[in-house]
Structure 1
């Protein structure tokens, strides 16, 4: 006999027992991009009392003496229609962040939010449309939809790229046609970007390569990205390096995930059934890596906390 539990009842139970997934924005820091120190607490936490159960695509930039973050949040299974809204948060130290505030909150689908400064004015870019097939933009101070259409062009024509990040005046993206095909573009005129370099990353056994984040450390460029052998579940953060954005090094693992067991900063191994280990249970992704005073800070999503629907989500992502 199959028992179907109403979603409303599951949501009520979720206040006491974690029924739904809990995908948070996490933060780690490094001096070389290889060895990372994770923060004990999430940058953006989620839960029953939050507006969202899942937080993805964090983007961080400096505004005066403070740091700002914009990210996508989804209420997951609470609603019959899956939505992604945009929220902002503020920090003085890149570790502790304020309670998120609404930016674009409705029944829309807003993913991959990024901030680009044009002539001193902050522009908000995001992926939108049916199944996020286009990039839109508007002034950050007056964020509104539908916004203006953004085009990305190469020598052969328009580029289909809705998974991207911003580093200074450079847009780093991955084309929708092939995993691991990264492009680099600059804005020629308002909302028109031209590709000036590209590279293809091939990793044996990995067929899920996306979520790029470009950062400059000294004279070297580092491109971080998500890679997995089976869609989002079990994904890791990898890195390639370049001095000119043309020739790149071989991929190196940058940040793995806790998996079924995680060794914490105190050196002790915690089992998956202990609460301390639940932030990266199924993988990591959606990175934005920035440099501040010679230190790299990685803001990224951690998949699936301890919840009753975990067997279903594991099956769903396989």
Structure 2
């Protein structure tokens, strides 16, 4: 007799052999390949057969992978983590096997399997945990099985399961369950509890939400939504819910391959506990009845501590509940063995960390949120106040900030105006990385009575025009020619050129009628501001890294004016000047605020220049806003200055602020 590991298995032949024995379960059939352990966690199957005189006398499927995987199943990094963990901490699983066909040599064949596994298969992994023999084999001698495993250095643990035979008369089955169970089943029916099968995502979500509340009630880590999705798509898994007046009461999952129905993932809702609705009792009777009607031999309620004298209060409660359903207590041994002590110790410590992780992570995120610390760099819209338009003091509050920690939004191009009622309204650009690509649009916010900015939504428009662009930026509101106009720049793709447009505001408050701007020059415009003088509109924009201007009499056709308004080259602005914002200063003068950069966005500052005619500007001494603030460790830009009574208010973007990856971000941009 020899044990052979198959490089590939004829699954039809495998299942055909396996189904000749009554004790076969889901885990020793090809059905296990559809189970989340394989389909989600990435455990790989290993097929072993025992051959004697060219005849297969035994076979078993075992799986190898990492049992830490499921903790990360809802993470965006799960595909990478799964491969990493399966490589670092491989663990073998053997459930309800081996299956042995030749009864006369049963224990000889079993020992051959155990010896082969111990010397050829298991040593490549960290450990093997909780090997479960085929406990539904009524002829199995568990003490002999224990002796064989312990002979090869495995440790044993006594465990048990209540197994209810369901292939007899249904009336006999009803009489066999306990009196208390029958009473509660009747009570549940009188209370209007019914059982439904989960066949759609909405009911699956109800089942999952109930699982989350159960985990919270028991102080356990939450299960992964992806695992529930994979169970839902597994053709060999059934999920049932008990409901009362549309309220979910309990849930139950069952593995259906083979002739033994394996139960698992039972859940009860907080509502059922608070109102003492016996929906789970009706559920247990339903699965017994369902198994009977569908030709199963028995139902395995899976897992109890078999010795009442050594049970915890929780184990006793589980034992007493499962005992009520007419099952026979089968006591057996499960077996484990460690093959790499160092990796095993590291894995067990990782488990403890993961178990404690959710609470620690939540506390850490709350601390980060409280102190406005982000993991990744974040660009916020901030504000500052001045009494002379020159010296600005930072305001305490952040105007616009992302609410996301992992994939934050970025905010630029604030454009604030005073509404007729005296309130402030801000249009701004918001960007977020979606599937590896930055997508930006225009949003708006208003200042509430508590001096907090409330972001309402994306731009109100009665056209789908903006939806055709990947990136929309530089919103500027202008009152011109008896219209409220919205100017903006947009491009189809990130690497495509920008085009400038204008839309008109209708009486309903929506923007419509998008029209392209017409320039008498070819350079693309991607950032601008406007100043209205009598019947003329002047645009200031960045051209060849300097600030230039153009004029229009109708707001659509633009003629470029000679020369640069602000020329790069002075200290602090040798690389470029851009992000213009113009406002009336004292004595009829115009002040232009702008960003100056030495290299890139790193350490850029906001400067100003003064002019009598809007064409000839003199750069003013000093810096209007530097990058020494709490929320602008990288630089500042996109100034928008407005006059509020006797004060000037500057709205601007502060780059970064304090974040956990700050050293890497600085290195990347330096």
TM-score under structure 2 length normalisation: 0.39
Task: Give the match for residue 72 of structure 1.
Answer: 429
Change over 3 Å in CA distance of 1:316–1:124 after alignment to 2:
farther
User: How far, CA to CA, are the matches of 2:594 and 2:561 in structure 1?
Assistant: 20
Change over 3 Å in CA distance of 1:144–1:75 after alignment to 2:
farther
- Asked if 1:201 corresponds to 2:567, the answer is yes
Asked if structure 1 preserves the Cα contact closer than 8 Å seen for 2:376 and 2:406, the reply is no
User: How far, CA to CA, are the matches of 2:450 and 2:595 in structure 1?
Assistant: 22
Map 1:71-220 onto structure 2 (within 5 A): 71-76=428-433, 79-91=435-447, 96-103=452-459, 108-129=470-491, 130=493, 131-140=496-505, 141-143=509-511, 147-153=514-520, 157-158=521-522, 160-168=524-532, 170-176=537-543, 178-183=544-549, 185-196=550-561, 198-205=564-571, 206-218=574-586, 219-220=588-589
Asked if structure 2 preserves the Cα contact closer than 8 Å seen for 1:26 and 1:43, the reply is yes
Any stretches of 5+ residues in structure 2 without a counterpart?
1-73, 79-357, 369-373, 461-465
Give the alignment's Cα RMSD to 1 decimal. 3.2
CA deviation profile, 1:222-248 (whole Å, cap 9, x unmatched): 010001212111010000101112332
**CA-CA distance at 1:199 after TM superposition:** 1.9
Q: Which has the larger radius of gyration?
A: 2
**CA-CA distance at 1:168 after TM superposition:** 3.7
CA deviation profile, 1:159-191 (whole Å, cap 9, x unmatched): 533210123454442333x212321x3332241
User: How far, CA to CA, are the matches of 2:483 and 2:559 in structure 1?
Assistant: 20
Match for residue 56 of structure 1 among 403, 406, 412: 412
Task: Give the match for residue 306 of structure 1.
Answer: 658
User: How far, CA to CA, are the matches of 2:559 and 2:633 in structure 1?
Assistant: 39
Any stretches of 5+ residues in structure 1 without a counterpart?
1-5, 263-276
State the SS of the aligned residue for 1:8: coil
User: How far, CA to CA, are the matches of 1:227 and 1:82 in structure 2?
Assistant: 24
- Asked if 1:253 corresponds to 2:622, the answer is yes
**CA-CA distance at 1:132 after TM superposition:** 4.8
Change over 3 Å in CA distance of 1:223–1:7 after alignment to 2:
farther
Asked if structure 2 preserves the Cα contact closer than 8 Å seen for 1:110 and 1:126, the reply is yes
**CA-CA distance at 1:124 after TM superposition:** 1.3
Change over 3 Å in CA distance of 1:93–1:285 after alignment to 2:
farther
**CA-CA distance at 1:207 after TM superposition:** 0.8
Asked if structure 1 preserves the Cα contact closer than 8 Å seen for 2:542 and 2:577, the reply is no
State the SS of the aligned residue for 2:439: coil
Task: Give the match for residue 266 of structure 1.
Answer: none
**CA-CA distance at 1:133 after TM superposition:** 1.9
Task: Give the match for residue 265 of structure 1.
Answer: none
TM-score under structure 1 length normalisation: 0.79
User: How far, CA to CA, are the matches of 1:159 and 1:167 in structure 2?
Assistant: 21
Structure showing the higher strand proportion among its residues: 1
User: How far, CA to CA, are the matches of 2:471 and 2:541 in structure 1?
Assistant: 20
